[in-house]
């Protein structure tokens, strides 16, 4: 019986590469063990067939940004827990190789209220995090809001700006329109936690469902609730 050896050590002997290069191949998803991708350098090898996938190349793993269709009723941590290889949307036909490290150290720099649904950005990329925090005041967010009640006189004008919310918050200028008799579309910059519901209450409406569709130029697309997709490399908020 042969003694098992770590995959990275086995790859060093197989390719004559350095341990660091072996880890890059493995963590990059380029190493196949009996035909299946393995991205853990410590994976034990005991006689299995190990090879590099076609097109294998060395290089640091780029951080990723994931776009989750968050269901209502989940806090941020519960939403992050939904993101697994099994919940990748089948509509994401351009998805890169799904690696375990894509699900490590994800942050939500522009969170949603627990009772809201829609686009939640989860990122490992410091540039994306900075864009969604430092530049948040300049990024328009689009919401669809299902409401109950009768709109107060001049309600849309009040919502569009020039009115103070409770606590003295001035409403930033925004675009508000009816999508149906019970649904509003609101496009606004720097929406604070709970702000959409308070805006509706200001004009005698009750927000029964809030869904974020877009942040800047990045939209949710048609992925189902509870699924996610990768942010394309050429996409910008």
Residue at 57 is within a domain:
no
> Do 24 and 124 belong to one domain?
no
Residue 84 belongs to domain spanning:
65-136+218-230
Mean of per-residue pLDDT scores for the chain: 91
**Claim to verify: residue 157 and residue 194 sit in the same structural domain:** yes
**58, part of any domain:** no
Query: How is residue 236 written in tokens?
Result: 């910008």
Terminal C-alpha separation, the chain: 56
Q: Are residues 40 and 131 in the same domain?
A: no
Question: 209 and 151, same structural domain?
Answer: yes
Q: For residues 82 and 89, what is the distance between their CA atoms, to the nearest angstrom?
A: 12
Same domain, 75 and 31: no
Res. 192 pLDDT band, cuts 50 70 90: confident
Give the pLDDT confidence of 85-110 residue by residue, as tens digits.
999 999 998 877 888 889 999 999 99
User: What domain count does the chain have?
Assistant: 3
Do 112 and 223 fall within a single domain? yes
**For the domain that residue 225 is a member of, what is the CATH number?**
3.30.70.580
- pTM recorded for the entire structure: 0.85
Q: How far is the C-alpha of 14 from the C-alpha of 183, rounded, in Å?
A: 62
CATH classification at residue 17: 3.10.290.10
* Residues 171, 199 within the same domain: yes
Q: Are 63 and 123 in contact (CB under 8 A)?
A: yes
Helix ranges (H only) for 16-84 are 19-27, 76-81
Does residue 45 lie in a domain region?
A: yes
């Amino acid at each position: 019986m042969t003694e098992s050896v770590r995959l990275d050590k086995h790859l060093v002997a197989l390719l004559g590469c350095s341990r660091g290069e072996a880890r890059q191949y493995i963590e990059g998803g380029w190493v196949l063990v009996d035909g299946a991708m393995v991205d853990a350098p410590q994976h034990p090898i005991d006689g299995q067939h190990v090879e590099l996938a076609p097109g294998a190349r060395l290089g640091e793993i780029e951080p990723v940004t994931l776009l989750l269709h968050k269901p209502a009723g989940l806090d941020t941590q519960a939403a992050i827990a939904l993101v697994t290889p099994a919940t990748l949307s089948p509509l994401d036909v351009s998805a890169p190789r799904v690696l375990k490290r894509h699900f490590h150290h994800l942050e939500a720099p522009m969170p949603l209220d627990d009772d809201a649904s829609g686009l939640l950005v989860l990122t490992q990329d410091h540039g994306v995090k900075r864009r969604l925090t430092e530049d948040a005041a300049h990024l328009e967010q689009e919401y669809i809001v299902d409401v109950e009640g009768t709109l107060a006189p001049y309600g849309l004008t009040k919502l569009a700006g020039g009115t103070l919310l409770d606590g003295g918050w001035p409403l930033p200028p925004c675009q508000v329109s009816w999508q149906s008799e019970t649904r509003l579309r609101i496009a606004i910059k720097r929406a604070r936690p709970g702000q959409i519901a308070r805006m509706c209450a200001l004009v005698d409406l009750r927000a029964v469902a809030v869904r974020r569709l877009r942040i800047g130029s990045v939209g949710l697309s048609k992925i189902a609730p509870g699924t996610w997709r990768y942010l394309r490399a050429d996409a910008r908020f």
